Every structure is written in C-alpha cells, then in structure tokens.
C-alpha cells in the first residue's frame, strides 16, 4: 500500500493535491540534484486590500537549469497580512522541461508543480517548497519535490526526482 503525502495550498479554499511519498515507490531510482532559476519577467497586481491585508496576483516567467532545464511560467497569489512584514505565496508553475534520467538519457515534456513559500517585505529573499503534480510527454512518469531559496531575480532549488 502506498503512503500519500497531502499538499494543501493556501488561497485555494481547502483544495488539496495528493502525491505518492518517495518511500512508497518501489520502482525508480531517486535522483538528488539542484537547479538554478533566473527570472525573465513578471510583476504583481493588487487584487484586494482591506483591514486584514493585501492580496496580489503575481504571474512570472523564469528559466531553470540543472536537474530541471527549461522555461517556466508561474501564476501565484501573494498575501501580505496587515501590520506585519510577512509575505506568503502559493501557486502553480508550468515548465517545458528536459530532465536526464540516472543513465544520462534526456526526457522532455511539460511539468506542472505546486509552489508554496514565504518571505518578508523587509528582505528581497524568500523560500519555499514545490511538488510535481503532473507531467506530459517524456516526463509523464516523473515525480518529485524540493525546496528553494530565491530573490526577485532568481534562486536555487534542491530537488529529489524519480521516474515511477
């Protein structure tokens, strides 16, 4: 029986995504790696501001290289609670990526992954985590998750990927 990891994204009114935990997969070699992301554009638009805080829509485009390679586009919601310097975000990223399997063979397709994280208005740095939700083409069987640390200009990812 496979264990399931539950991912509940803020701002989705309780919607959750379920993905197999890596320990539950008997097939596939786990690949640990890293990737670097460079931002190529994006800005936030204020959606709502009230006494509780401000909600922004933040689409962006990036290019990632390393264990994941290719252009990305993201759609994220950012929450800035009133009276604090905290920032929280959640969203979906789509990457037209290429990933090498453990033998070095490249596989290409599209990946969709959920991202969640936090930061502060007093610092340009933010951090978070991601989990692959689905893939197409040569990446249809790719699974994975990871963490990232970034600024508005880009960042670094720590990845755990495997082909199921």
Q: Which residues of 71-105 are buried (b: 16+ CB within 10 A; e: fewer)?
A: ebbbebbbbbeeeeeebbbbbbbebbbebebeeee
Q: Decide: 142 and 111 in contact? Cβ < 8 Å.
A: yes
> Which residue has tokens 């009114």?
13
| pLDDT digit string, tens, across residues 67-116 | 889 999 999 999 999 999 999 999 999 999 999 888 888 999 999 999 99
What integer pLDDT is reported at residue 112 of this predicted model? 97
What integer pLDDT is reported at residue 35 of this predicted model? 82
Fold designation for 39-163: AOC barrel-like (2.40.350)
d(CA 122, CA 134): 35
**Could you give the residue ranges of the DSSP H alpha helices within 7-159?**
none
Whole-model pTM: value is 0.77
């Amino acid at each position: 029986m496979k264990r399931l990891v539950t991912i509940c994204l803020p701002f989705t009114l309780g919607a959750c995504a379920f993905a197999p935990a890596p320990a539950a997969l008997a097939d596939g070699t786990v690949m640990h790696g890293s990737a670097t992301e460079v931002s190529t554009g994006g800005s936030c638009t204020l959606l709502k501001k009230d006494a509780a805080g401000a909600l922004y829509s933040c689409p962006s485009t990036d290019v990632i290289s390393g264990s994941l390679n290719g252009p990305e586009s993201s759609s994220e919601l950012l929450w800035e609670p009133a009276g604090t310097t905290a920032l929280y975000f959640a969203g979906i990223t789509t990457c037209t990526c290429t990933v090498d399997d453990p033998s070095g063979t490249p596989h290409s397709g599209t990946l969709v992954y959920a991202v969640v994280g936090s930061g502060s208005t007093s610092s340009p740095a933010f951090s978070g985590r991601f989990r692959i939700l689905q893939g197409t083409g040569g990446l249809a069987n790719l699974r994975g998750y990871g963490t990232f640390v970034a600024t508005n200009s880009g960042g670094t990812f720590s990845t755990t990927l495997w082909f199921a």
